Structure 1
Amino acid sequence: MILSAAADGEPFIRWDWIGDHAGQLTDLTVHHLKLALLPILFGLVIAIPLGVMCVRWRWLYPPTLGIANVLYGAPSLAFFMLLIPYFGIGVGGKADFTIIVPMTLFSLSVLVPNVVDGLRSVPDPVRQAATAMGFGTLRRLIQVELPIAVPVVIAGARVATVASISLVSVGVLIGNGGLGQLFIDGYSRDFTTPLVVSCVLIIALALVSDGVLVAAQRLLTPWARRRTR
């Protein structure tokens, strides 16, 4: 998708260009959000059971964290290239997983430690009280331990989400980077408007997503609100 129009002597921001391309900007923003948030969702689906296992079997945590950190330290572009033969290149459909899979793996270096820390923050007397009330291991995990761990887990999700929204732009190097498309478009034509618009939209997405997670935490931990009144 190429966003047209620019020439020498352009002003720093062309508001008419933004209006003319509002539909394309909306599409890029929605696609960027999809590429950024699906990895966090998939990361939580992996990190929560993995974190539970790391708490149950403490020997599992160091190697798990080590692998997650190694994956996070790997160059994102190299990951994208490795997955192109399996998922393809381009925008939409299966090709999106060329971006989503590496971003999911990157998120684990933040999500797994926070799940472990959140579960470890549950006081032993609380666990013992739940057991004394007849809660089995699974019921205690779902109804007691995970709710108490929510603030720490969401703190990790907030960090991972903001990082993901920023990092997705790198995908433009293989033709699928959401709002990163505007970076290439603006830079290639020495046109500042797409560059500024992309930065503003990415920052706005990060702020809105962070606010949604804060609101979700408040909804999931009503007892915390009562304590602060």
Structure 2
Amino acid sequence: MYELFSDLGAWLVGGEQWTGPEGIGHRLLEHLQYSLLATVIAAAIALPIGLLIGHTGRGAFLAINLSSFGRALPTVGLVVLVFLIGGLSMVPVYVALVVLAVPAIVTNTYAGMSAVDPEVRDAARGQGMRGRQVLWQVELPLALPLIMTGLRLSLIQVVSTATVAAYVSFGGLGRYVFDGLAQRDLVQVLGGAVLVALVAVALDLLLAAVQRAVVPRGLKERSAASRTA
């Protein structure tokens, strides 16, 4: 076991492992591209849905159940299916990652909007605010802690699952996992898995810092109290 971890450490810090088109640096950039683009696309789809159903209270049952259905789909199976239909491209990978990321964003956005005190909405309307003003100036700021949590969960899931790009002969850190399995190279497999885990943790910490910066302290305390209750 000691020898395995020693070889893993040497593999991770080896200079030759970080250079060239097969190096960790290039694979890391590919992985970040897949993950961030898929999460941005998912957010562009899911945030409006979550905000709409949370603001109006309509379509919640259908939207949440469709999101849960998307979460239950096997990612690799979806990649292969879209791959067979659409041919050799990154489209199947992005479709699978977006489908994976949407549920958490929709669910948390809706939960955040639903958690807004109805009396706060009524008070805003009583001051003459219209529907859009209530949404953007009252409901959205109050729902922001849970919305950010949904984005963090989705990003972590996408980063962890973006290894499927290598399954259909594309790049990313999953290349080390699949190539290592094909070559029976346990060190390479573990190296790929460790790198994916480190990227997921680093991005989560980054988004946590962004959340602390954009969410007022009072809202964070209120959100924590609500979760405790």
The match for 1:66 is: 65
Q: Is 1:137 matched up with 2:131?
A: yes
Deviation by residue 1:154-200 (Cα, 9 ceiling, x = unmatched): 11222211111111112322112511100122222232332222122
Paired letter, 2:42: G
* Cα gap change, 1:136 to 1:185, in 2 (>3 Å): same
Question: Separation in 2 of the partners of 1:16 and 1:107?
Answer: 32
Deviation by residue 1:122-151 (Cα, 9 ceiling, x = unmatched): 112222232233322112211221111111
The match for 2:79 is: 80
Deviation by residue 1:40-87 (Cα, 9 ceiling, x = unmatched): 222221112111232244351112222222222122222212322565
TM-score, normalisation: structure 2: 0.82
| Pairing partner for 1:121 from 115, 118, 121 | 115
Q: Is the 8 A contact 2:109 2:143 kept in 1?
A: yes
The match for 1:166 is: 160
Question: Separation in 1 of the partners of 2:184 and 2:7?
Answer: 11
* Cα gap change, 1:36 to 1:70, in 2 (>3 Å): same
Q: Is the 8 A contact 1:172 1:180 kept in 2?
A: yes
Q: Is the 8 A contact 2:148 2:211 kept in 1?
A: yes
Question: Separation in 1 of the partners of 2:47 and 2:220?
Answer: 27
TM-score, normalisation: structure 1: 0.82
CA drift at 1:225: 8.1
CA drift at 1:13: 2.8
Paired letter, 2:16: D
Matches within 5 A, 1:16-95: 18-23=14-19, 24-84=23-83, 87-89=86-88, 95=89
| Pairing partner for 1:112 from 98, 101, 106 | 106
Q: Using CA pairs below 8 Å that are at least 6 residues apart, which structure has the higher relative contact order?
A: 1
CA drift at 1:217: 1.1
Q: Which runs of 5+ in 2 are unaligned?
A: 223-229
Q: Is 1:188 matched up with 2:182?
A: yes
Identity over aligned residues, as a percent? 23
Q: Is the 8 A contact 1:170 1:177 kept in 2?
A: no
| Pairing partner for 1:154 from 148, 152, 156 | 148
Question: Separation in 1 of the partners of 2:187 and 2:15?
Answer: 12
Q: Is the 8 A contact 1:12 1:192 kept in 2?
A: no
3-state SS of 1:12 partner: helix
Question: Separation in 2 of the partners of 1:193 and 1:105?
Answer: 31
Name the count of aligned residue pairs.
214
Q: Is the 8 A contact 2:105 2:154 kept in 1?
A: yes
